[in-house]
Structure 1
Amino acid sequence: MILRALLSLALLFGPAHAFAEATRYPLTIQSCNRDVTFQQAPQHAVSHDINMTQMMLALGLKPHMAGYSGVSGWKSVPADMATTLDGLPELASKYPSVETLLNANVDFFFAGWDYGMRVGGDLTPHTLQPLGINVYELTESCAFVMKRPAASLDDTYNDLRNLGRIFDVQERTNALIAQMQAQVAEVQKHLPPDKPRVFLYDSGEDRAMTSGRLGMPQALIDAAGGRNILEDIDASWTRVNWETVVERNPQVIVIVDYSEITAEQKKHFLLNNPALQAVDAIRHQRFIVIPYVQATPGIDNVLAVETLAKGFHGE
């Protein structure tokens, strides 16, 4: 995780271009295929899921927050993040309702499609806007509601920049993005030309939950010098048959660690799945484990790139 000390370093020694003009309201921001207008910086914001909550905290936005949601019901909170969250209520352990947001006097909801919102559900930008709640959608998740290119780290940088403008904290935002980009550039300076075939395993036994080209794992694998075996699948988080995995024969399997089923249990399932015994990654037992907060769009994406690069290519 990018610790507070790292953020402080970025703020102290960030490049000159980190300084930006203050936000002028009203401000209109593009969110997926919508324009959202803010008359002022939100004062009672809620972030959904651990990755989006971490973004808000890293930008120093806790004073602007009424709470967060969708964290403790799915995954544990790292110790340093728990310290920062102290005093901020979790409004719902899994999914908040419209009533939950209204009762907390929420004026801004930072979430994503399949990250707290679903198409046709009760909680969407179109249901919340008439209630005075502006919604900003996670850029990577826009693939569920519009056609867009393959996921990239620019999706995360875009979300941070937009949050910076919405809350008028551009200098802090630019310093953080510069630090993240520097970390990724340092990794990529040392990547060899060979790109191992990589399969990301999230969960599932009958079929595998994984990521196609529109999910953040695509961007992470690319940035770390690997090749997602499902890079031709025009989908974000999706399910595939094991036959597809066998046919594409990954050399490395990346396991996403979260929920009640541990990474070790997932690894045990894969190693003992009869259908996978001819797969190179299984035969050579090449596994890399990354936590959910690194596999989804957020500031810990740079740590995922570092971990994956070491696992793909060695130190």
Structure 2
Amino acid sequence: MKLNLTTLAALLMAGSAMAQTTVQSCDREVTFDAPPQAAISNDVNLTEMMLVLGLADRMVGYTGISGWNKLDEGMTAGVAALPELSSQYPSREVLIGADADFFFAGWNYGMKVGGEVTPETLEPFGIQVYELTESCIHIGEKDAASMGDMYNDLRNLGTIFDVSDRATALIEGYQTELVTFLADQPALDTAPRVFVYDSGEDVPFTAGRYAMPNALIEAAGGTNIMNDFDKSWATVGWEAVVERNPEIIVIVNYGEVTAAQKREFMMSNPAFADIDAVRNDRLVVLEYVEVTPGPRNIEAVKTLAAAFRGE
């Protein structure tokens, strides 16, 4: 009987060890003893990643969406059963008070370097953090943004929540969808020069080489005029925009200033009259959730590819 109990104990220990899984999160390796059961996601794009993986029943809420007017009709339905715990960035108390065991966030996507909510400050409370891959540039070096960043997050979430088959199927489906779509598009003679206009009038807030739009633009066949800007999302001078003369301007739609107002600002300002995109009225609108890493990146590439080809 003693041998049997020892054997049983060994088997249980082996089963426990097998249940552990480790993923790379920015510069950290994070080990999970079991799939999280009380997860919180921050921001609309990260929340959609959780939803497309079918993880709503593993969540106790989300944060950081309504404070920036980012919910659309489809997303509103998707999170209807979940509470928004904070309209903007959550405090540590909010996450602890929800009895969370997992926080899916990123640097400048719910966490700030040196802020009160970080993987280190949440660890003592049993809350493990997985960081959005695109955001890792804020705490170290990484390659320019790519579609692979989004796929990597889906893959890692699949591993963490033990739904790897679902994640793999999604990723392969997205990849096939894009390849098939782009194969049917007319070839471009040259890659159009593209500027991403997020916000700002005195100085524009735009996407550098480490922000997701850089990857979307390249995937669609264009060139981000700020692809040598070693930043993620940041401000530049209007002089640089005028000098680089974009042929297409991508307007990011969210917040209190509407896409129509941003368009009017670009089209009516005499300082921009000689920019090719303004002169030829080639401005295209993408939603915030489309230009940040997430499932809607696929439709964003399609929209850009069509715009680049004059559709």
| Conservation of the 8 A alpha-carbon contact between 1:153 and 1:219 | yes
Q: Which residue of 1 aligns with 2:12?
A: none
Matched, 1:314 2:310: yes
Please give the TM-score of this superposition, normalised by the length of structure 2: 0.92
Q: For 2:29, what is the secondary structure of its paired residue?
A: strand
Q: For 2:40, what is the secondary structure of its paired residue?
A: strand
Q: Deviations over 1:1-41 (max 9, x none)?
A: xxxxxxxxxxxxxxxxxxxxxx9421111100011111110
For structure 2, the 5+ residue unaligned runs are 1-16
Matched, 1:118 2:115: no
| Conservation of the 8 A alpha-carbon contact between 2:40 and 2:63 | yes
Matched, 1:131 2:125: yes
Q: Which residue of 1 aligns with 2:4?
A: none
Question: How do 1:5-154 and structure 2 match up within 5 A?
Answer: 24-154=18-148
Larger displacement relative to structure 2 (193-202 or 159-168) = 193-202
| Conservation of the 8 A alpha-carbon contact between 2:104 and 2:131 | yes
Cα gap change, 1:76/1:230 in structure 2, threshold over 3 Å: closer, same or farther? closer
Q: Deviations over 1:182-211 (max 9, x none)?
A: 121123212523210000000001111001
- Counterparts of 1:116 and 1:274 in 2: how far apart (Å)? 38
Q: Which residue of 2 aligns with 1:253?
A: 249
| Conservation of the 8 A alpha-carbon contact between 1:256 and 1:292 | yes
Give the counterpart of 1:192 among 187, 191, 199.
Answer: 187
Give the counterpart of 1:183 among 156, 165, 177.
Answer: 177
Letter in 1 for 2:159: R
Q: How far did 1:115 drift?
A: 0.7
- Counterparts of 1:191 and 1:32 in 2: how far apart (Å)? 38
Q: How far did 1:272 drift?
A: 2.0
Q: Deviations over 1:60-99 (max 9, x none)?
A: 1011101000111112422232222122100001111000
Q: Deviations over 1:133-161 (max 9, x none)?
A: 11100000001111111100000000000
- Counterparts of 1:90 and 1:32 in 2: how far apart (Å)? 26
Question: How do 1:290-305 and structure 2 match up within 5 A?
Answer: 290-305=286-301
| Conservation of the 8 A alpha-carbon contact between 2:70 and 2:289 | no
Q: For 1:73, what is the secondary structure of its paired residue?
A: helix
- Counterparts of 1:226 and 1:179 in 2: how far apart (Å)? 23
Cα gap change, 1:248/1:56 in structure 2, threshold over 3 Å: closer, same or farther? same
Please give the TM-score of this superposition, normalised by the length of structure 1: 0.91
- Counterparts of 2:223 and 2:42 in 1: how far apart (Å)? 30
| Conservation of the 8 A alpha-carbon contact between 1:242 and 1:275 | no
> Structure 1 stretches (4+) deviating beyond 6 angstroms?
none
- Greater relative CO (CA pairs within 8 A, separation 6+): 1
- Counterparts of 2:181 and 2:244 in 1: how far apart (Å)? 27
For structure 1, the 5+ residue unaligned runs are 1-22
Give the counterpart of 2:278 among 275, 279, 282.
Answer: 282
Q: Which residue of 2 aligns with 1:270?
A: 266
Q: Deviations over 1:220-246 (max 9, x none)?
A: 000000000011111111110000001
Question: How do 1:215-254 and structure 2 match up within 5 A?
Answer: 215-254=211-250
Q: For 2:66, what is the secondary structure of its paired residue?
A: coil
